[in-house]
């Protein structure tokens, strides 16, 4: 039978948000063929979730037709929903119910007979390794386990089409790897899978990529087809005398460079043509292109044509701003005064010191006596699987949570016990970019300026700086809640930097933000670090770990590894894996540690 | 309608109720809390009302009159040296009224004229003042009768009111407040709880997962209805038990009829809850709407405390769409008067009508789609 | 420091007023409640349905009945023709009372014997029944006086003359509407302050505040002031409506009301902030507000007198700030109370206010994380 699993013909879908009409899907026509994994990619707000909901017949198209295995979603929603498995972004689990009770509920709803139920449960519990947790409440599971349970619920009746909406957001690399092995197993059984994701490395695992932008189909082809036009345009650049971040900055400002990215010990560069703008001392080595290169160059090309109303595009920056180091508005120069204030301070003196830090919640020890030190001007990463204790550590450092025992000093004081003035030295961006949603952008900026005690001339210059540096002028009167995610992130960063802090705390500042916004974000962080600001960051993106000067890797409340990215990667280097990535290192180290802990217990 | 799916939904809801203390709190703790509060805290029956008594010239007649006030049980007379002192006591709220027997009281009375008994009441709490005035009138008339009997003359009162109070001869306000309160409690359980739990499914994204499964909208609605119906009936039985055994409210009518009417009203309340939940998809808004459109009217416009006949015509008209109005009438009748079929049937028909309308709208409004 | 607090206060106002939903919550429900309470919550009887069963054919009974049909309190709905018709009327609630006049009513009256008017009342709503009986008594008393005067009969040896101070016509609206000033001030203040921290906790902005140089006490002040201003404005507005729309007399001093309002708001905000610092989610905050509001309204004397409550409950009401403020509001509106008279109310109110604010400050500092 040649009926496509999913077919859209001329679909339009509008939503009303506030008083405005938003076009989520605009004239989309596409098909998904059976028994393949189709990845749905696109920047934030491209219409991925809307497309998923249209396919699940949870939304009707305004115009056009959506067909699933030939059924029209308007007439035959019941038939469609009998054929699909759908996992929404928040997994759709009942938190009060146990793992087993959730499975029973969805088995009942999907009409899975009692006869087949037992074997199916066993199969899925084995597949997801949730067997030992059958009695645990879903609300008590870690993010990765919730995601696997959500998937198991969607898979109960072996659907013909599996729809997964950003299943890997906020999930650690190990869980992501496990999830993908399940997805591949499903494909082997003939299930069609449509998965949306913000992780570009996951795109390589798909058979087919649908790239969406502003509700329109940009391109639909296999990942390999994306690489082809880029062959000969991708290089790995090294310079023995220059630090990677400096090198990256220099490279990204040169003509003809589309994208420059720190990767392992070198900088990965994508060119417009195939002629490298080589400079003295640099070693340019051609590398094979990957999906991310294609994604960025495709979107950057679009964004460059549509500035500034388009999306935040770091790659488009050089064209507008040829020499970032020299501009007055860049944080590097504005932050200068602090640097000179502290010129007397020893650059190597630690800014953050942690010693024998412990935190107990009841009988559970979340952080088990860890210690490390962070130098001034460092970008310091805090990594770990879900539930490794990194958030707890982070909150203790910011002074949001008291430590059970141990010492911790940030900028020379314990923030929890310090006088309020000491907190003026830090800036903080929380996981969800917590801003006052119903205050406007300008009101948020003014509020944080006042709270940090800025007044008079300084207040005026800093507010001007924030508006210009983060391109917020167009949104000044918009409520923060209505901003696109990338702009929320910018505003959160602007508020945290308003008072020129010595130390910047960033808690998963890029989760859910699209790759282009992430690039721009990291460019700023690098500039800040170069100007002497210490940056403490937690993240789930392993490629972002490469940007850190040093990092700690946590598991089960302990520090597994501590050092530069190179040092950490080197720990898992073997003959079989001569060039391990950060993700390999992460997974290898954590699995070894967990196994060791189990053996000990 | 698929039995397997419905059973799954109902079981899920029960598990959630069992593990979420807030549902249990609304269904069982709240009724007990409200009943105790109203049963003990709200009473319209004045007793031992403190009265300042100013007697200019104490005589046998004056002490006789004051004594009869004391004996009525409603009053607590306190002698006051002068009217000014008594007035200050009233201003400071130490007494609720003043009785002033002037110096000529005994003289006039003995001379066969009509002696004045001047009474001042604190009119701020008008209702209480009204009731106290009634007591005072009664005590005065009793005293007159006693005087006449003792002196052996016939008291010449042209018309004497002979009142017979049906259903609640002692006029205990608790007997009418407690049954009415059951209507308020059932409204809370039915409408508020249902609206909240549906809104919670929207907030947590579980509704999206439910809708993407083969389950039908009717099954989702019924899956909510059955558990909260049973929970509501549980809360109702608890309230009735407390009313009868703790507050000694007589249940004159039949228990089964009460059960049937309560079930009917609970359906209406659940229907309102479902209707609210189709409009308000977050818990905060749902709670606000539920309190404003169901709880408040059940409290004020149902005849639970305030008499409907006495309201302005427009407001009276409005009370016809308040379901609790019909249920309060049934409750007060079944508890105090018995199985009065015209009341029960008439109001039940109204309830059936409202239930049908609410469910029809809720069913129409809830589509198995997210927009 | 003042600049920071000022910025916080401005932020709180913007957060409340820029959001359509919370704007509605602050304006809509209070107005609805004001109108509903003002018009519907009344103990003044009107249009009470009654049926007449008159077996007397004389003119005296007609004279007496004319007084009933002329009264705004009563409305005649039926004329009965036999004993058997009485019970159904009362049972099905179509009449609240039945006036039964016997055969010899006029004859007895003219013969100077006491004639009887039998009144059968539906006691299901005991309060209405009691009030209706009072009104019946009043009408008959009037009739008796006139009849005695007209027929040269000797009056009773003593005559009761009652007058009501402050509210001569005993209108319950005069009693209820000033009470609403206190009620809605409390509701609005608690909603503004009780949910404000929980809302920030849910949105994650509370962490953001805690890492700024703001001190806990500054945050507390920043949260308290908007509740104070909004509660005060709303209370003042309702007081105006009470005077201008519902025509409740206002005979006392504005200063006395303002002083009472100040202490009351202090107490309410303290309690709101206590709930706020304990609640992690808005739902818990809402539940806390509800659990505090209902008893404090019921046990305040808002609708039923505190004197009627059991001894132990009466003692409990001394902890209730609403109890004192109700006396202040009603005193100022109806009795013309001035500041010196009301010290006995201000003192406990101020004590509760200081106590609850200190408790809130303590909780705030100890529950910051």
Each residue's pLDDT tens digit, A46-90: 888 899 999 999 999 999 999 999 999 988 888 899 899 999 887
Q: From A424, A491, A418, select the one nearest A453 (Cα to Cα).
A: A424
What is the structure's pLDDT at A18?
62
Q: Is A91 on the interface with B (CB under 8 A)?
A: yes
Residue B164 covered by a domain: no
Cβ–Cβ under 8 Å, residues C223 and C12: yes
Of the partner residues A434, A440, A450, the one whose CB lies closest to the CB of residue C205 = A434
Q: Is there a single domain that holds both residue A435 and residue A541? A: yes
What is the structure's pLDDT at A213?
84
* Rounded distance between C-alpha atoms, residue C231 and residue C225, angstroms: 10
| CATH number assigned to the domain comprising residue A189 | 3.40.50.300
Q: Determine how many CB atoms are found less than 10 A away from the CB of residue C84.
A: 8
Q: Is there a single domain that holds both residue A514 and residue A592? A: yes
Task: For residue B220, give the chain A residue with the closest CA.
Answer: A109
Mean per-residue pLDDT of chain A: 83
Nearest chain A CA: its distance from B355 CA (Å): 28
Q: Is A15 on the interface with B (CB under 8 A)?
A: yes
Distance of CA B196 to the CA centre of its chain: 25
Q: Is B368 on the interface with A (CB under 8 A)?
A: yes
Burial profile C310-330: b = 16 or more Cβ within 10 angstroms, e = fewer: eeebeebbeebbbbbbbbbbb
Q: From B131, B57, B112, select the one nearest C158 (Cα to Cα).
A: B112
Q: Is there a single domain that holds both residue B137 and residue B25? A: no
Q: Is there a single domain that holds both residue A412 and residue A456? A: yes
Phi, psi (deg, nearest 5) at residue C213: -70, 0
Residue A556 covered by a domain: yes
Q: Is there a single domain that holds both residue B182 and residue B68? A: no
Q: Is there a single domain that holds both residue B145 and residue B195? A: no
Site from B15, B16, B206, B209 to mutate, A interface, most A CB atoms within 10 angstroms: B209
Nearest chain C CA: its distance from A315 CA (Å): 31
Quick check: A124 pLDDT over 50?
Answer: yes
Q: Is there a single domain that holds both residue B263 and residue B246? A: yes
Contact flag A81-B213 (C-beta cutoff 8 Å): yes
Q: How many structural domains are present in chain B?
A: 2
Q: Is there a single domain that holds both residue B12 and residue B103? A: no
Q: Is B21 on the interface with A (CB under 8 A)?
A: no
Cβ–Cβ under 8 Å, residues C117 and C79: no
Q: Is there a single domain that holds both residue B199 and residue B117? A: no
**Longest distance between any two alpha carbons in chain A, whole Å:** 76
What is the CA angle C283-C285-C289, rounded to 5?
120
Domain boundaries, position A174: 6-221
Alpha helices in A416-545 (DSSP H): 441-451, 456-469, 485-497, 515-530, 542-545
Q: How many structural domains are present in chain A?
A: 3
Quick check: A167 pLDDT over 90?
Answer: no
Q: Is C299 on the interface with B (CB under 8 A)?
A: yes
User: What average pLDDT does this structure show over A310-337?
Assistant: 36
Q: What spatial distance separates the first Cα and last Cα of chain A, rounded to whole Å?
A: 54
Q: Is there a single domain that holds both residue A269 and residue A187? A: no
* Rounded distance between C-alpha atoms, residue B327 and residue C46, angstroms: 23
Q: Confidence band (pLDDT; 50, 70, 90) for A233? A: confident
The CA distances from residue A232 to A238, A280, A436, C201, in Å, are 17, 21, 47, 52
Each residue's pLDDT tens digit, C166-199: 888 888 888 889 998 999 899 889 988 888 888 8
User: What average pLDDT does this structure show over A527-534?
Assistant: 88
Q: Who contacts A424 (Cβ-Cβ below 8 Å, separation ≥6)?
A: A452, A453, A499, A501, C212, C213
Nearest chain B CA: its distance from A88 CA (Å): 6
Cβ–Cβ under 8 Å, residues A528 and A429: no
What is the structure's pLDDT at C198?
82
Nearest chain C CA: its distance from A436 CA (Å): 7
Q: Is there a single domain that holds both residue B102 and residue B34? A: no
Bridge partners of A217, per DSSP, are A212
Residue A212 covered by a domain: yes
Quick check: A101 pLDDT over 80?
Answer: yes
What is the structure's pLDDT at A305?
56
Q: Is there a single domain that holds both residue B258 and residue B287? A: yes
What is the structure's pLDDT at B228?
92
Q: Is B337 on the interface with A (CB under 8 A)?
A: no
What is the CA angle A59-A60-A61, rounded to 5?
120
DSSP, res B1: -
Nearest chain C CA: its distance from A459 CA (Å): 12
Contact flag B118-C163 (C-beta cutoff 8 Å): yes
Mean pLDDT check: name the lowest of A133-142, A323-332, B355-364: A323-332
User: What average pLDDT does this structure show over A409-421?
Assistant: 77
- The parts of chain C modelled with pLDDT lower than 50 are 369
Q: Which chains reach chain A with 3 or more Cβ–Cβ distances below 8 angstroms? A: B, C
Q: Is there a single domain that holds both residue A397 and residue A281? A: no
Task: For residue C215, give the chain A residue with the closest CA.
Answer: A420
What is the structure's pLDDT at A19?
64
Contact flag A96-B9 (C-beta cutoff 8 Å): no
Q: Confidence band (pLDDT; 50, 70, 90) for A343? A: very low
Burial profile A172-195: b = 16 or more Cβ within 10 angstroms, e = fewer: bbbbbebbbebbeebbeeebbbbb
Q: Is A373 on the interface with B (CB under 8 A)?
A: no
Nearest chain B CA: its distance from A552 CA (Å): 34
Q: Who contacts A89 (Cβ-Cβ below 8 Å, separation ≥6)?
A: A49, A165, A166, A169, B205
What is the structure's pLDDT at A347?
55
Per-residue tokens: A288:
């094979």
Residue A137 covered by a domain: yes
Each residue's pLDDT tens digit, C246-262: 999 999 999 999 999 99
Residue B167 covered by a domain: no
Per-residue tokens: A488:
């929320």
Residue A270 covered by a domain: yes
Q: Is there a single domain that holds both residue A78 and residue A182? A: yes
Q: Is there a single domain that holds both residue A99 and residue A244? A: no
DSSP, res C44: -
Q: Which chains reach chain B with 3 or more Cβ–Cβ distances below 8 angstroms? A: A, C
Q: Is there a single domain that holds both residue B32 and residue B64? A: no
Interface of C with A (CB under 8 A): 3-4, 6-8, 10-11, 14-15, 18-19, 203-205, 207-215, 369
* Rounded distance between C-alpha atoms, residue C340 and residue C343, angstroms: 6
Last residue of a domain, one of A326, A354, A385: A326
Task: List the strands of the sheet with B49-55, edge to edge.
Answer: B75-79, B49-55, B97-101, B115-122, C158-165
* Rounded distance between C-alpha atoms, residue A478 and residue A108, angstroms: 46
- Identify the residue with better confidence: C18 or A569: A569
Contact flag B205-A88 (C-beta cutoff 8 Å): yes
* Rounded distance between C-alpha atoms, residue A513 and residue A484, angstroms: 10
Task: List the strands of the sheet with A405-410, edge to edge.
Answer: A364-375, A350-361, A405-410
Q: Is there a single domain that holds both residue B79 and residue B135? A: yes
Task: For residue C167, give the chain B residue with the closest CA.
Answer: B123
Q: Is there a single domain that holds both residue A479 and residue A335? A: yes
Q: Who contacts A301 (Cβ-Cβ below 8 Å, separation ≥6)?
A: none
Contact flag B9-A88 (C-beta cutoff 8 Å): no
Last residue of a domain, one of A286, A311, A326: A326
Quick check: A391 pLDDT over 80?
Answer: yes
Task: For residue C122, give the chain B residue with the closest CA.
Answer: B166
Domain boundaries, position B81: 49-151
The CA distances from residue B24 to B181, B184, B238, in Å, are 19, 17, 13
Topology (CATH) of C48-150: abc type-2 transporter like fold (3.40.1710)
Nearest chain A CA: its distance from B92 CA (Å): 49
Q: Confidence band (pLDDT; 50, 70, 90) for A303? A: low
Site from B166, B298, B301, B311 to mutate, C interface, most C CB atoms within 10 angstroms: B166
Residue A501 covered by a domain: yes
Q: From B245, B246, B292, B262, select the one nearest B186 (Cα to Cα).
A: B262
* Rounded distance between C-alpha atoms, residue A209 and residue B236, angstroms: 58
Cβ–Cβ under 8 Å, residues A387 and A172: no
* Rounded distance between C-alpha atoms, residue C46 and residue C48, angstroms: 6
Contact flag A505-C215 (C-beta cutoff 8 Å): no
Q: Is there a single domain that holds both residue A308 and residue A456? A: no
Residue A1 covered by a domain: no
Burial profile A394-417: b = 16 or more Cβ within 10 angstroms, e = fewer: bbbbbbbbebeebebbbbebbbbe
Per-residue tokens: B56:
């200019």
**Chain C residues near residue A439 by CB distance under 8 angstroms:** 11, 14-15, 18
What is the structure's pLDDT at A61?
92
Q: Is there a single domain that holds both residue B144 and residue B180? A: no
Q: From A428, A381, A430, select the one nearest A540 (Cα to Cα).
A: A381
The structural domains of chain C, with segments of one domain joined by +, span 15-41+171-366, 48-150
Q: Which residue has the tokens 């009692």?
A: A114
| CATH number assigned to the domain comprising residue B102 | 3.40.1710.10
Q: Determine how many CB atoms are found less than 10 A away from the CB of residue B64.
A: 14
Cβ–Cβ under 8 Å, residues B258 and B41: no
Last residue of a domain, one of A307, A326, A345: A326
What is the structure's pLDDT at A207?
93
Q: Is there a single domain that holds both residue B103 and residue B33? A: no
Task: For residue C25, give the chain B residue with the closest CA.
Answer: B288
Per-residue tokens: B206:
């579980």
Q: Which of residues 109-138 of C touch B (CB under 8 A)?
A: 109, 112, 114-131, 133-134, 136-138
Site from A359, A438, A477, A499 to mutate, C interface, most C CB atoms within 10 angstroms: A438
What is the structure's pLDDT at A314?
37
**Chain B residues near residue A95 by CB distance under 8 angstroms:** 204
User: What average pLDDT does this structure show over A285-293?
Assistant: 86
**Chain B residues near residue A104 by CB distance under 8 angstroms:** 8, 11
Per-residue tokens: A499:
């008072």
Of the partner residues A399, A402, A439, the one whose CB lies closest to the CB of residue C211 = A399
**pLDDT 10s digit of each residue in chain B, 371 long?**
788 889 999 999 999 888 877 778 878 888 898 899 888 888 877 778 889 999 988 888 888 888 888 888 889 999 999 999 998 888 777 888 899 988 888 888 887 777 888 898 888 888 888 888 888 888 888 888 888 888 777 667 777 777 888 888 877 888 888 998 999 889 988 898 888 888 888 888 889 989 888 888 889 999 999 999 999 999 999 999 999 999 999 999 999 999 999 999 999 999 999 999 888 777 777 887 888 888 888 888 888 888 888 888 888 898 999 999 999 999 999 999 888 888 899 999 999 999 999 999 988 888 888 77
């Amino acid at each position: 039978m040649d009926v496509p699993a999913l077919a859209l013909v001329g679909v339009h879908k509008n939503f009303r948000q506030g008083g405005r009409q938003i076009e989520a899907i605009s004239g989309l026509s596409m098909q998904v063929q059976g028994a393949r994994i189709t990845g749905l990619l696109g920047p934030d707000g491209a219409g991925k979730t809307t497309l998923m909901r249209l396919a699940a017949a949870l939304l009707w198209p305004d115009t056009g037709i959506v067909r699933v295995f030939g059924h029209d979603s308007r007439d035959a929603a019941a038939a469609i929903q009998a054929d699909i498995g759908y996992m929404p972004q928040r997994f759709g689990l009942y938190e009060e119910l146990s793992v087993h009770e959730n499975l029973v509920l969805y088995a009942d709803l999907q009409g899975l007979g009692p006869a087949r139920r037992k074997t199916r449960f066993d199969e899925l519990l084995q597949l997801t390794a949730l067997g030992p947790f059958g009695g645990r409440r879903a609300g008590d599971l870690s993010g990765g386990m919730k995601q696997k349970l959500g998937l198991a619920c969607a898979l109960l009746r072996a659907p013909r089409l599996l729809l997964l909406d950003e299943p890997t957001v906020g999930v650690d690399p190990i869980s992501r790897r496990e999830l993908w092995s399940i997805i591949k197993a499903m494909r082997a059984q003939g299930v069609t899978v449509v998965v949306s994701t913000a992780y570009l490395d996951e795109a390589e695992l798909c058979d087919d990529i649908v790239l969406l932008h502003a509700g329109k189909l940009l391109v639909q082809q296999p990942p390999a087809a994306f690489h082809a036009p880029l062959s000969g345009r991708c290089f790995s650049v090294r310079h023995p005398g220059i630090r990677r971040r400096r090198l990256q900055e220099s490279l990204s400002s040169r003509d003809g460079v589309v994208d420059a990215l720190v990767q392992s010990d070198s900088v990965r560069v994508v060119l417009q043509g195939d002629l490298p703008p080589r400079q003295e001392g640099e070693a340019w080595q051609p590398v094979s292109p990957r999906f991310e290169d294609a994604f960025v160059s495709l979107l950057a090309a679009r964004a460059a044509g549509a500035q500034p109303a388009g999306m935040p595009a770091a790659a488009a920056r050089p064209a507008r701003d040829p020499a970032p180091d020299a501009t007055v508005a860049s944080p590097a120069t504005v932050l200068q005064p602090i640097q000179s204030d502290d010129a007397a301070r020893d650059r190597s003196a630690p800014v953050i010191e942690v010693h024998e830090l412990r935190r107990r919640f009841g009988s559970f020890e979340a952080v088990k006596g860890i210690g490390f030190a962070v130098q001034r001007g460092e970008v310091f990463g805090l990594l770990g699987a879900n539930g490794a204790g990194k958030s707890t550590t982070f909150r203790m450092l910011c002074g949001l949570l008291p430590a059970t025992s141990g010492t911790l000093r940030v900028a020379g004081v314990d923030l929890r016990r310090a006088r309020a003035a000491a907190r003026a030295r830090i800036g903080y961006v929380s996981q969800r970019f917590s801003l006052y949603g119903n205050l406007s952008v300008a009101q948020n900026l003014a509020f944080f300026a006042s709270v940090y005690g800025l007044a008079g001339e300084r207040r005026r210059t800093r507010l001007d700086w924030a508006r210009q540096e983060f391109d917020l002028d167009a949104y000044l009167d918009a409520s923060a809640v209505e901003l696109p995610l990338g702009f929320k992130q910018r505003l959160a960063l602007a508020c945290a930097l308003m008072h020129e802090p010595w130390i910047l705390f960033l808690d998963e500042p890029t989760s859910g933000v699209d790759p282009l916004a992430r690039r721009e974000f990291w460019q700023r962080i690098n500039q800040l670090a170069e100007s002497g600001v210490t940056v403490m960051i937690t993240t789930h993106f392993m490629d972002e770990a490469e940007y850190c000067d040093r990092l700690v890797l946590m598991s089960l409340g302990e520090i597994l590894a501590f050092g530069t990215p190179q040092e950490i990667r080197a720990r898992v280097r073997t003959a079989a894996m001569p060039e391990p990535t950060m993700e390999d290192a992460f997974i290898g180290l954590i699995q070894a540690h967990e196994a060791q802990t189990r053996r000990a217990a | 309608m698929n039995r397997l799916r419905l059973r799954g939904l109902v079981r899920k809801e029960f598990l959630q109720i069992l593990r979420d203390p807030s549902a249990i709190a609304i269904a069982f703790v709240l009724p007990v809390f409200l009943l105790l509060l109203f049963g003990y805290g709200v009473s319209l029956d004045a007793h031992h009302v403190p009265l300042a008594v100013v007697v200019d010239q104490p005589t046998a007649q004056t002490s006789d009159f004051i004594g009869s006030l004391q004996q009525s049980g409603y009053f607590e007379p306190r002698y006051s040296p002068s009217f000014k002192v008594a007035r200050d006591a009233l201003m400071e709220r130490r007494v609720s009224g003043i009785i002033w027997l002037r110096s000529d009281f005994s003289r006039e009375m003995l001379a066969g004229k009509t002696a004045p008994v001047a009474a001042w009441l604190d009119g701020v709490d008008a209702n209480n003042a009204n009731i106290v005035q009634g007591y005072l009138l009664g005590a005065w008339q009793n005293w007159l009768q006693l005087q006449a009997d003792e002196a052996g003359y016939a008291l010449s009162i042209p018309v004497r009111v002979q009142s017979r109070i049906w259903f609640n001869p002692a006029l205990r306000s608790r007997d009418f407040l407690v049954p009415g309160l059951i209507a308020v409690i059932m409204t809370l359980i039915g409408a508020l709880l249902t609206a909240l739990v549906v809104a919670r499914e929207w907030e947590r994204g579980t509704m999206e997962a439910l809708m993407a499964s083969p389950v039908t909208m009717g099954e989702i609605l019924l899956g909510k209805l059955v558990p909260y119906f049973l929970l509501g009936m549980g809360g109702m039985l608890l309230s009735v038990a407390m009313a009868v055994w703790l507050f000694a409210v007589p249940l004159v009518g039949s228990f089964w009829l009460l059960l049937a009417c309560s079930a009917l009203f609970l359906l209406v309340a659940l229907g309102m809850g479902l209707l609210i939940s189709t409009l308000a998809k977050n818990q905060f808004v749902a709670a606000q709407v539920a309190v404003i459109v169901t709880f408040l009217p059940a409290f004020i416009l149902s005849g639970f405390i305030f008499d409907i006949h006495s309201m302005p015509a427009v407001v009276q008209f409005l009370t016809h769409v308040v379901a609790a109005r019909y249920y309060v009438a049934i409750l007060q009748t079944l508890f105090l008067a018995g199985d009065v079929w015209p009341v029960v049937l008439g109001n039940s028909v109204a309830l059936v009508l409202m239930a049908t309308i609410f469910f029809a709208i809720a069913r129409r409004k809830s589509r198995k789609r997210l927009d | 420091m003042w600049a920071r607090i000022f910025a916080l206060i401005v932020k709180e106002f913007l957060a409340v007023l820029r959001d359509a939903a919370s704007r509605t919550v602050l304006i809509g429900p209070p107005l609805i409640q004001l109108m509903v309470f003002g018009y519907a919550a009344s103990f003044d009887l009107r249009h009470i349905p009654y049926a007449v069963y008159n077996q007397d054919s004389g003119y005296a009974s007609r004279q007496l009945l004319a007084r009933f049909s002329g009264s705004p309190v009563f409305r005649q709905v039926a004329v009965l023709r036999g004993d058997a018709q009485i019970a159904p009327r009362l049972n099905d609630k179509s009449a609240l009372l039945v006036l039964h006049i016997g055969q010899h009513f006029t004859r007895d009256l003219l013969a100077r014997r006491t004639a009887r008017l039998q009144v059968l009342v539906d006691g299901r709503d005991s309060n209405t029944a009691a009030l209706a009986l009072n009104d019946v008594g009043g009408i008959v008393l009037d009739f008796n006086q006139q009849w005695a005067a007209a027929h040269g009969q000797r009056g009773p040896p003593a005559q009761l003359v009652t007058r009501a101070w402050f509210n001569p016509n005993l209108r319950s609206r005069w009693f209820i509407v000033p009470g609403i000033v206190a009620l809605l001030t409390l509701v609005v203040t608690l909603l503004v302050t009780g949910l404000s921290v929980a809302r920030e906790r849910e949105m994650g902005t509370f962490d953001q505040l805690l890492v700024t140089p703001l001190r806990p006490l500054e945050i507390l002040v920043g949260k308290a002031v908007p509740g104070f201003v909004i509660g005060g404005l709303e209370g003042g507005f309702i007081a105006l409506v009470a005077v201008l729309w519902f025509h409740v007399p206002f005979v006392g001093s504005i200063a006395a009301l303002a002083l009472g309002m100040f202490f009351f708001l202090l107490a309410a905000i303290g309690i709101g902030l206590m709930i706020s610092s304990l609640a992690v989610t808005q739902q818990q905050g809402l539940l806390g507000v509800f659990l505090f509001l209902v008893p404090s309204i019921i046990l305040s004397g808002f609708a039923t007198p505190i004197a009627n409550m059991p001894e132990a409950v009466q003692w409990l009401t001394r902890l209730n700030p609403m109890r004192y403020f109700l006396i202040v509001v009603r005193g100022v509106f109806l009795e013309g109370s001035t500041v010196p008279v009301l010290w006995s109310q201000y003192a406990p109110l101020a004590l509760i206010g200081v106590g609850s604010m200190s408790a809130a400050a303590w909780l705030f500092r100890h529950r910051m994380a």
